[in-house]
Amino acid sequence: MPRETKHYRNVNENPCNMCMPMGGILPFKGIEDAMVIIHGSQGCSTYMRRHIAEHYNEPIDVGSSSLNEKGTIYGGSQNLFQALDNIRKVYKPRLIGILTSCLAETIGEDVEGIARDYLKQRGLDDFPLVAVSTPGYGGTHSEGYWLAVKKTVVALARPTEKHDGINVIVPNLSPADIREIKRILELMDIKYTLLPDISETLDRPIARPYTKIPPGGTKVEAIRRMPGAAATIQFGITVEENVSPGRYLQSQFGVPLYNLPVPMGVEATDMFVGLLAGLAGGSVPKTLELERGRLLDCMVDSHKYNAQGRGAVFGDPELVYAVVRTCAENGLYPAVVATGSGNTGLEDLLEPVLADCPGEVRFHNETDFAQIRTTCRETGVNIAIGHSDGKYLTEKEGIPLARMGFPIHDRVGGQRLLSVGYTGTTMFLDRITNTLLEYKHKNYRAAMYRKFYRNTGIEERGHTSLMGQAFGSEECPQLIPVLRGELR
Amino acid sequence: MAINEKMIEEILNKYPAKVKRNRKKHIVIRDSARENQEIEANTRTIPGIVTNRGCAFAGCKGVVLGPLKDMVHIVHGPIGCAYYSWLTRRNKAKTDDPKKNFLAYCVSTDMQESDIVFGGEKKLARMIDEVVEIFKPNAITISATCPVGLIGDDIQAVAKAARAKHGLNITAYSCEGYKGVSQSAGHHIANNGLMENIVGEGDWEEPPSKYTINILGEYNIGGDSWEVERVLNEIGYEVQVVMTGNGSYEKLKNAHVAQLNLVQCHRSINYIADMLEKKYGTPWLKVNFIGIRATIESLRNMALYFGDEALIKRTEEVIEKELAEIEPQLEPYKKICSGKTAFCFVGGSRGHHYQGLYEELGITTVLAGYEFAHRDDYEGRDVLPHIKSDADSKNIPDLHVTPDERRYRLKIPVERMEELQKKIPLSNYKGMIKDMMDGSIVVDDLNHYETEEFIRILKPDIFSSGIKDKYIPQKMGIPTKQLHNYDYSGPYAGFRGAINFARDVAMGFATPTWNFIVPPWKDKPLLEGSIEQCSDDTCVEEVGA
Ligand code: SF4
Ligand code: SF4
């Protein structure tokens, strides 16, 4: 597998990632009765709420300390105190996460210190206030996510009696994915604490009466008891050590850590299911075996189409790893593997997975879509897999996009996309195959033209996409032939 | 249900005492018996209140600058702010030259920790060079996000140097998010910048046609301005530039030649309207192209301003033709909508604009408000001399313009201006409150908690707002209509837009979905009769029936 890595420009043109506090909000939405505040000026929190709401189609309440010019000079602790008071009064949360924005960090706010002072002044010794320093310029939303999970564990975990439950720590997956992971755990009769659990909170059924904080999420009590667990399974093989919650539980409390890839694809799901069987000393239930069989049936049916795919996979490192691996299992190899994150481990982790890849694979870290687009062109990519911002590749290059991950803001149902476990993988692969098939049918005529009519004098006409007009792209280079029938 | 002071007290009682006192001043029950009903607005947001307001950067880059299509808008700062303001407003644009439309691009310096420590000016300067080379735009703007001002990057100096180097209109906007109290501060900063650096840069001295106008405060969401322009063109107007939906540097630089400026969104653009009047002698007319009646009134007022018989006649002809087209289409929707009630809480002007259209459909607005408006948007411009400026508003200095010696022309004689002002909103805006029904509620900077409480009390049939708040009512079983980006629909402006709006709103009421929310077993017993009474086969039949 020949590889190649990034080049560098000053311009970030059409980013492939968001900022750190954005990622930090999500885990707090998966803790029962929790609220979260961003310490900084209010624009950041409004923007982030807007984007999260658009992906999940849910109300996303996030407080802000609404710092203004005065706060930038004298410090913002008074504003943060007020924000905490108001949030407590109106929402009655049982845990509050505090994240920082660029503003708070640039003026040097010690948010952990302010949080301690607050608790002392208000006489709230036991109230869980989890302060996380997340400067927007300090990392992407992926890092923000993991740091917030880790800080939550650090803040709550206390030495506890040993128990036979296991900890399951998940990356930013869809609520449907989390529900599937829970279903597998329950099928295997495992007692578990899953953190963070957005399965109900960010995909909330219509139900009356409406409550300000959606029901569901990991219980604070359960998080406190994580150090007593028999083991931790963390779906985070790309997670760097310093932000790894599982590693923290291992080093501080001796909880054995199984750091696995997201259970997507045959092997990774086998690993998860096999580990659970081992931990519980039980066997794998028939249901799961049937599901595994169906997945393989799907893969046998689809491999002939999927093998024609040349993929560009982009997004959060953890998901990128899982998608590349899953696709490779079915013979769909990537040409471009990209993440906006500075996480550099991906390339080495994927080396064994891509050992048999026949073509060249290009890796981009800290990248933007301008770069991804160029590489897609150079390598002949014909399917993009990742979040909505990849639509740019469709608009400019005609490459179809199979949407996956976060954020999905131009389609509905991002919260319901199921991609993990045997069943989820089956659904994921079907989406990929169908995207390829649709593309193939759409371009059938173009391909036929090239094969039979080139140099015959029958003209092939460029197709001007409507998108191209509305957004002023250069002409879409994907050509659709018009057989004019007028032979010259 | 009618609301009274006591109910509002009850809602506010949930707040700490200080917050309660503050919020109380932002809520008014309309009472036309009282001459001037005052409301507090444009004051600091209460921390932790879960406001819907954004920041100055959002108002500057996101709202006013962003839609200008032939310019590249660079965001100087860490990546988040740029990402979040990327194509999120559905301001549409078309260009003749497809290479001169940059709206699909999000361009940022993506500041890293080292830039925060050592400063980002050099990176910004290098980036401008790259942008000029890659995109070849007609002009460039640079918008600052929070950290920029704090670390002392002098973006104005960088812009100036780049302007000299590239011979291109490159301007900087110090719209750091912490300035002011909401996006409103950013509108002001953008208005000042555009007026200072772009409007009037062009070399036209005379208007290109007899009735040349600019449309201000129209952002072409969902194609609104295209629908308005269609009608205006038909009447015989020439639109020089729209500020800023589908607008361009090329057109904006000659905006000074217009004989009249129309103001749709007063909040975001009134500064430019005012400055154009002072500098070039061009009055502005408050228009509203949302709603059929409001559109007709606006068109008639325009014709009256020009005072030309042929134009007045042509205006009536076009109105008649348009009405003939849409009125039959509207009827079925009216039947569905009639008798319903609505909440209308939007940015800084739509909270007012949409009430008329709702009314035409038979829907009564029972609560309305703005996210970031000022008192004049509620109470009318007469209140302007009475608004105390505070530390936050002083942050954004007014740009003082003086009459342009060469180009200032009184467009109409002073006496006629005075006479017209008695009849039409010429260089004036009367605000939202006066148009509201007695007993309805006006709320400034409505938040999630209050939204929920007001819904419980007033049980509106439809809730119109933005994307962040629309999911609360929906979860409560109430239809919503997103009025920031129209839920990917539109246009809603003008005559044909009204039909789109009526269709979308009626669809919200008429969808059978709402009927299924309560499961049948919670509502009534699934099967009538009891098990003992039926034999095996009748039971089967009943289940199947
Ligand atoms: S408040 Fe500041 S940091 Fe936040 S989005 Fe606005 S400009 Fe960016
Ligand atoms: S990059 Fe920084 S300033 Fe911008 S939205 Fe993110 S936290 Fe806020």
Within 10 Å of residue B380's Cβ, how many Cβ atoms?
18
Q: How far is the CA of B452 from the centre of ligand 1 (A)?
A: 27
- Residue A315 counted as domain residue: yes
- Number of the ligand 2 atom closest to the C-alpha atom of A47: 5
Give, for B216, the enclosing helix (H) or strand (E): strand B212-218
Whether A46 sits inside 8 A of B55 (CB atoms) is: yes
Residue B366's nearest CA partner among B443, B292, B431 is B443
Coil, strand or helix: which one is B493? coil
Instruction: Assess whether A48 and A34 both reside in one domain.
Output: yes
Instruction: Assess whether A291 and A434 both reside in one domain.
Output: yes
Instruction: Assess whether A133 and A37 both reside in one domain.
Output: yes
> In the predicted model, is pLDDT for residue A213 greater than 70?
yes
CB of A152 within 8 A of CB of A27?
yes
Q: How far is the CA of A134 from the centre of ligand 2 (A)?
A: 9
Whether A475 sits inside 8 A of B84 (CB atoms) is: no
Side chain identity, residue B171: T
Residue B263's nearest CA partner among B217, B211, B199 is B217
Instruction: Assess whether A29 and A87 both reside in one domain.
Output: yes
Superfamily in which the B56-197 domain is placed by CATH:
Nitrogenase molybdenum iron protein domain (3.40.50.1980)
Whether B98 sits inside 8 A of A53 (CB atoms) is: no
What is the pLDDT, as a whole number, of residue A454?
67
Within 10 Å of residue B126's Cβ, how many Cβ atoms?
14
What is the pLDDT, as a whole number, of residue A388?
96
- Number of the ligand 1 atom closest to the C-alpha atom of B145: 7
Of A260, A280, A300, the last residue of a domain is A280
Within 10 Å of residue B116's Cβ, how many Cβ atoms?
23
Strand order from edge to edge, sheet including B284-286: B238-244, B212-218, B260-263, B284-286
Say if ligand 2 is within 6 A of residue A101 CB: yes
**Could you tell me the CA-to-CA distances from B182 to A139, B187, B311, B374 in Å, in that order?**
26, 10, 41, 11
Which of B76, B90, B187, B375 does the annotation list as catalytic? Answer: B187
Side chain identity, residue A395: E
Q: Which of B51, B55, B142, B189 is the pocket-test mutation for ligand 1 (most atoms within 8 Å of CB)?
A: B55
- Number of the ligand 1 atom closest to the C-alpha atom of A41: 1
> What is this structure's pTM?
0.91
Coil, strand or helix: which one is A42? helix
Instruction: Assess whether A130 and A172 both reside in one domain.
Output: no
Instruction: Assess whether A230 and A250 both reside in one domain.
Output: yes
Rg of chain B, C-alpha, whole Å: 26
> In chain B, which residues have their Cβ closer than 8 Å to the Cβ of A106?
116, 146-147, 150-151
Which of B26, B41, B56, B58 does the annotation list as catalytic? Answer: B58
Instruction: Assess whether A234 and A319 both reside in one domain.
Output: no
CB of B124 within 8 A of CB of B153?
yes
> In the predicted model, is pLDDT for residue A186 greater than 60?
yes
Residue with the two structure tokens 């993991």: A146
Whether A90 sits inside 8 A of B99 (CB atoms) is: no
Within 10 Å of residue B287's Cβ, how many Cβ atoms?
28
- Residue A475 counted as domain residue: no
CATH code: domain of residue A119: 3.40.50.1980
Q: How far is the CA of A259 from the centre of ligand 1 (A)?
A: 36
Out of B48, B110, B147, whose CB is closest to A82? B48
Which of B23, B30, B73, B89 does the annotation list as catalytic? Answer: B89
- Number of the ligand 1 atom closest to the C-alpha atom of B58: 6
Nearest chain A CA: its distance from B12 CA (Å): 10
User: Chain B neighbours among A 310-369 (CB < 8 Å)?
Assistant: 340
Count of the separate structural domains present in chain A: 3
**Could you tell me the CA-to-CA distances from B37 to A4, B266, B375 in Å, in that order?**
67, 20, 10
Classify the complex by whether its ipTM is higher than 0.85, answering yes or no.
yes
- Residue A356 counted as domain residue: yes
Ligand at minimal distance from the CA of A41 is 1
pLDDT in tens, A112-137: 999 999 999 999 988 999 999 999 88
- Residue A470 counted as domain residue: no
Tokens of B426: 């010429």
A468 touches chain B (CB under 8 A): yes
Q: Which of A18, A19, A72 is the pocket-test mutation for ligand 2 (most atoms within 8 Å of CB)?
A: A19
Grade residue A476 by pLDDT with cuts at 50, 70 and 90: very low
Coil, strand or helix: which one is A164? coil
Whether B50 sits inside 8 A of A63 (CB atoms) is: yes
Tokens of B243: 């500020």
Residue A34's nearest CA partner among A249, A165, A195, A239 is A195
Nearest chain A CA: its distance from B93 CA (Å): 6
Active site residue B89: yes
A391 is in which domain, residue-wise? 286-439
- Domain coordinates in residue numbering, chain B: 56-197
d(CA B112, CA A12): 12
> In chain A, which residues have their Cβ closer than 8 Å to the Cβ of B146?
40-41, 43-44, 101-103, 106
- Residue A146 counted as domain residue: yes
Coil, strand or helix: which one is B108? strand
What is the pLDDT, as a whole number, of residue B538?
45
Instruction: Assess whether A373 and A300 both reside in one domain.
Output: yes
d(CA A318, CA A169): 13
Instruction: Assess whether A138 and A178 both reside in one domain.
Output: no
SS3 readout for B374-415: CHHHHHCHHHHHHCCCCHHHHCCCCCCCCCCCCCCCCCCCHH
CB of B186 within 8 A of CB of B396?
no
- Averaged pLDDT for residues A436-460: 74
Instruction: Assess whether A170 and A214 both reside in one domain.
Output: yes
Rounded (5°) CA angle B373-A45-B142: 75
Active site residue B187: yes
d(CA A153, CA A130): 9
- Number of the ligand 2 atom closest to the C-alpha atom of A102: 2
- Residue A479 counted as domain residue: no
Residue B445's nearest CA partner among B513, B348, B540, B380 is B348
Of A137, A156, A175, the last residue of a domain is A156
Whether A472 sits inside 8 A of B69 (CB atoms) is: yes
Mean of the per-residue pLDDT values of chain A: 90
Nearest chain B CA: its distance from A368 CA (Å): 10
Grade residue A487 by pLDDT with cuts at 50, 70 and 90: very low
- Tens digit of pLDDT per residue, chain B (545 long)? 578 999 999 999 999 999 999 999 999 999 999 988 999 999 999 999 999 999 999 999 999 999 999 999 999 999 999 999 998 888 889 888 888 999 989 999 999 999 999 999 999 999 999 999 999 999 999 999 999 999 999 999 999 999 999 999 999 999 999 999 999 999 999 999 999 999 999 999 999 999 999 999 999 999 999 999 999 999 999 999 999 999 999 999 999 999 999 999 999 999 999 999 999 999 999 999 999 999 999 999 999 999 999 999 999 999 999 999 999 999 999 999 999 999 999 999 999 999 999 999 999 999 999 999 999 999 999 999 999 888 777 778 889 999 999 999 999 999 999 999 999 999 999 999 999 999 999 999 999 999 999 999 999 999 999 889 899 999 999 999 999 989 889 999 999 999 999 999 999 999 999 999 888 888 766 555 555 544 444 444 433 33
Of A280, A298, A323, the last residue of a domain is A280
d(CA A151, CA B72): 39
> In chain A, which residues have their Cβ closer than 8 Å to the Cβ of B147?
102-103, 106, 137
What is the pLDDT, as a whole number, of residue A196?
98
> In the predicted model, is pLDDT for residue A470 greater than 70?
no
Whether A70 sits inside 8 A of B107 (CB atoms) is: no
